[in-house]
Amino acid sequence: MSELRFDHVSVRYGSRSTGLTAVDDVSLTIPSGSVVGLVGESGSGKSTLARAAIGLAPVTGGAITLDGVDVAKLRRRHPIQMVFQDPFSSLDPRMAIGESIAEMIPRGTFSSAAAKRAEVGRLLKLVNLDPDRAGSLPGALSGGQRQRIGLARALAARPEVIIADEITSALDVSVQGSVLNLVRNVCAELELTMLFISHNLSVVRYLSDYIAVMYLGHIVELGPVDEVLNNAKHPYTRELLASVPTRNGNLLAVDPAAPMDVEPADPHHPPSGCRFNPRCPIGPLVHPERQICVQSAPQLPTTPGHATACHFADLTRGRVPQPFEPSW
């Protein structure tokens, strides 16, 4: 059992006057052995949430627990490991990949150097790399291969939870698939719990059991992946879905009601009430009588299943963007 739970977690950087609350009162549970996909635009706080779980960002409010134990007290065991976004900065260019992996093996696990080497070989084989390459430097490897090393290194620490932060966004599409397939197989095989962060909804959908949508430090929608994607209730989730370039979509279609060219909000000065209200197509910009959106922040219901933090979520169903015919 390894259930990762974020309980009213806040992460705040900087001083009171110039600071920034990157993650604001976020509660999220990742059930044991399942994959939660976390989506949101840059600056929404999704990477900060992940870094807080491995102790790289300061938790200024709430608690992050693994099976009920505060992760800050589990530092000796390091049960949560992360695979990073940039395959070129996540490996020490001066260290052979085998050494990088061996460094993560908990001390005292293997008595002899030979056993440690065998473990490195096993991990390399697990991520479909030739164990003979343990001596190569990262410079000799492609981006996709480096991401596999990143995964092997995370697995070396014998984790219960893997956090994958945009692990394919720096890769070409032709190798993206192999990394995603690998992550999915390994996590299923080792029964790992995973928080999978990506801005690419198609990728998140492919890998995740549940999906959480973040906007400006808040989770605005949460639920089983099919439920959220097929029946999105929050206007932000709907906007995200409409923006995904797909083969059947129509990116250039215009929804006449949506205030499209509004700038993304400044996280240093978040808007009052619902943080999405200055951009919202069903909010006070379009419906001036909906002042509640400016006055009070909608709460995410704690009931299990599909939850939305929106005052008017239930009124949005069935509303689709008007098709727009391109000029050709």
Partner 1 sequence: MPTRLKWLSIVRSPVGATATVLVLIVALLAIFAPLLWGAQAEAIDTAGTQQGPSAEHLLGTDALGRDVLARVLIATQLSVALAVIAVVIGVTVGTLLGTAPSVLPRWAARLVVGIVNIAVAFPGLLLALFLAAVFGVGATGAVFAIGLAMAPSFARLTQTMSAAIAGRDFISAARAAGVSRLRVLIRHVLPNIAEPLIVNATVAAGGALLAFAGLSFLGIGVQVPAYDWGKLLSEGLNRIYINPAAAFGPAVAVVVAGLAFNLLGETAASVAGGRVATGRWTLSPLPQPATRTAPAFPNVSVGTILSIENLRVSYPTPNGLVHPVRGVSFEVREGEALGVVGESGSGKSLTALAASRLIEPPGVVDADRLEFNGIQMLTAPEKTIRGLLGTSLAMVFQDPMTSFNPTRRIGSQLAEAAQEHQGMSKKDAMKRAVKQLQAVRVPAATRRAEQYPHEFSGGMRQRAMIAMGLMNSPKLIIADEPTTALDVTVQRQVLRLLERVRTDTNAAILLISHDIAVVSQSCERVLVMYAGRVVEDLPTAELYTGARHPYTRALLEVVPDLDTDREQPLGVIPGRPPAPGEVPLGCAFAARCPLATVQCRESDPELETHRGKHRVACWNPVGGDTRVTLPELSTAAPRTEAAPVATVGGAQ
By CB under 8 A, residue 80 contacts partner 1? yes
| Identified binder of partner 1 from the candidate list 16, 18, 114, 263, rule CB under 8 A | 263
- Residue 207 gets which letter from DSSP? H
Shortest Cβ distance from residue 285 to partner 1 (Å)?
12
Quick check: 240 binds partner 1 (CB under 8 A)?
A: yes
Min dist CB 302 to partner 1, Å, is 28
* Phi (first) and psi of residue 74, to 5 degrees: -105, 15
- The answer to whether 45 and 204 have CB atoms below 8 angstroms apart is no
289 binds partner 1 (CB under 8 A): no
Q: Is residue 25 within the footprint of partner 1 (CB under 8 A)?
A: no
Q: Using the minimum distance from each CB to partner 1, give the nearer residue, 240 or 293.
A: 240
Strands 80-83 and 161-165, by their bridges, are parallel
Exactly one of 11, 21, 30, 84 binds partner 1 (CB under 8 A); that residue is 84
Residue from 130, 132, 172, 191 in contact with partner 1 (CB under 8 A): 172
**Binding to partner 1 (CB under 8 A): which residues in 207-236?**
229
What contacts 123, CB < 8 A, 6 or more positions away? Answer: 101, 152, 155, 156
Site for partner 1 in 37-56 (CB under 8 A): 41-42, 51, 54-56
For partner 1, the binding residue among 78, 116, 117, 287 (CB under 8 A) is 78
249 vs 301 by CB, closer to partner 1: 249
With H, G, I as helix, E, B as strand and everything else as coil, classify residue 241: helix
Q: Does residue 245 interact with partner 1 by CB under 8 A?
A: yes
Q: How many CB atoms lie within 10 A of CB 98?
A: 22
Would you call 324 exposed, middle or buried from its count of C-beta atoms within 10 A (0-12, 13-18, 19+)? exposed
Q: Residue 250, interface with partner 1 (CB under 8 A)?
A: yes
Nearer CB in complex with partner 1: 212/240: 240
Q: Is 296 in the site for partner 1 (CB under 8 A)?
A: no
- The answer to the question of residue 247 lying near partner 1 (CB under 8 A) is yes
Asked if 118 is part of the footprint of partner 1 (rule: CB under 8 A), the reply reads: no
Cα gap 110→116, rounded to integer Å = 6
- In whole angstroms, give the CA distance from residue 326 to residue 328: 6
249: tokens are: 């979509």
**What is the DSSP annotation of 222-234?**
EEEHHHHHHS--S
